[in-house]
Structure 1
């Protein structure tokens, strides 16, 4: 699985970063999401799912590679 994002819908809430700081960061410029690890499996995939589900705008999502 991969993490993908729609940067135009990100409001910089930071929930993804708080849920999975090893997978997400926030841009210093505008606080929008920055993906740190695109390819996921195992425990990292579960953390990504939790972070994606917690996003208020559903900016990030998981997809097949």
Structure 2
């Protein structure tokens, strides 16, 4: 599984970091960044939850 964050849509709510801090972080600008774009199997469910809960729908999982 791969994950990306659309920089144009992200507004820095940090919901993704709450659901999966092992994959997401907030950058110096306060917006989400993906620390682990190739998601390990043990975090796939958490990443899917983060994507579903993102208020801006900025997370893409493929």
Please list, as runs of the form range in 1=range in 2, the aligned pairs for 1:1-65 lying within 5 A after superposition: 1-29=1-29, 31-63=30-62
| Larger Cα-atom Rg | 1
C-alpha RMSD of matched pairs (Å) = 1.0
Instruction: Report deviation, 1:40.
Output: 2.1
Please give the TM-score of this superposition, normalised by the length of structure 1.
Answer: 0.86
The separation in 2 between residues aligned to 1:18 and 1:35, in whole angstroms, is 13
Please give the TM-score of this superposition, normalised by the length of structure 2.
Answer: 0.90
Instruction: Report deviation, 1:41.
Output: 4.2
The separation in 1 between residues aligned to 2:38 and 2:60, in whole angstroms, is 12
Q: Contact 2:24–2:36 (CA<8 Å) still a contact in 1?
A: yes
Instruction: Report deviation, 1:39.
Output: 1.1
The separation in 2 between residues aligned to 1:46 and 1:52, in whole angstroms, is 10
